[in-house]
Structure 1
């Protein structure tokens, strides 16, 4: 199992894309925050945003990134987790975001992927694949 390799790839890419389902339509948005905490990679989004409501309604997601050498497809079931330690660590790493959320009374929701697959790919095929079940 190499969750560390997935974390490293997301860090190297800087920006990655989260795909959710909004009703019967795909919805993709760029993200940059992720946090390896324990044996899971957490992602954070505002609970007041449409993306959070999409995760609640249909937790099947995919994350895609490219680091100029390799593509990553990381997909599975988003598990919404009310882990306050993760939220506090996220705010510690992103003080400007923390201030904005606290000033506006917003909540950050965090999630990780379960029953997940990470595929490291070139343009034609999967070079490495890992599965994660928690």
Structure 2
């Protein structure tokens, strides 16, 4: 509830490590411009190994955006947003494609991510992925199979 559209699932053991968002995977964007890089929670056996997640981990480096998997705690998420180190967050999935996350609200408070709008990395990845899906961009990965 709390007036939110989605929930973030944390690990069951410690309830501090971010896993996924209501049936979608999460990506965190650190830095800006040519220094931007993305990170997503590592697959631990308890979160969705999404097709879109996998595609973005493959696609981002081809666009010059380093991509990694790792552990991200809720406290780090909050601190990195406050310091400006974390500049964008987005969720991804088959239906959502790529959806920006602009605000987090929890029992311990709330915080904004960037200015609350989709950032340039989120938009670039979305544009490229949708372009491949719609056949408007080349598909160097062999993901698209036309069906007549």
TM-score (norm 1): 0.36
- Bigger fraction of residues in strand: 1
Larger RCO (CA under 8 A, 6+ residues apart): 1
Larger Rg: 2
Using structure 2 for the length normalisation, give the TM-score.
Answer: 0.33
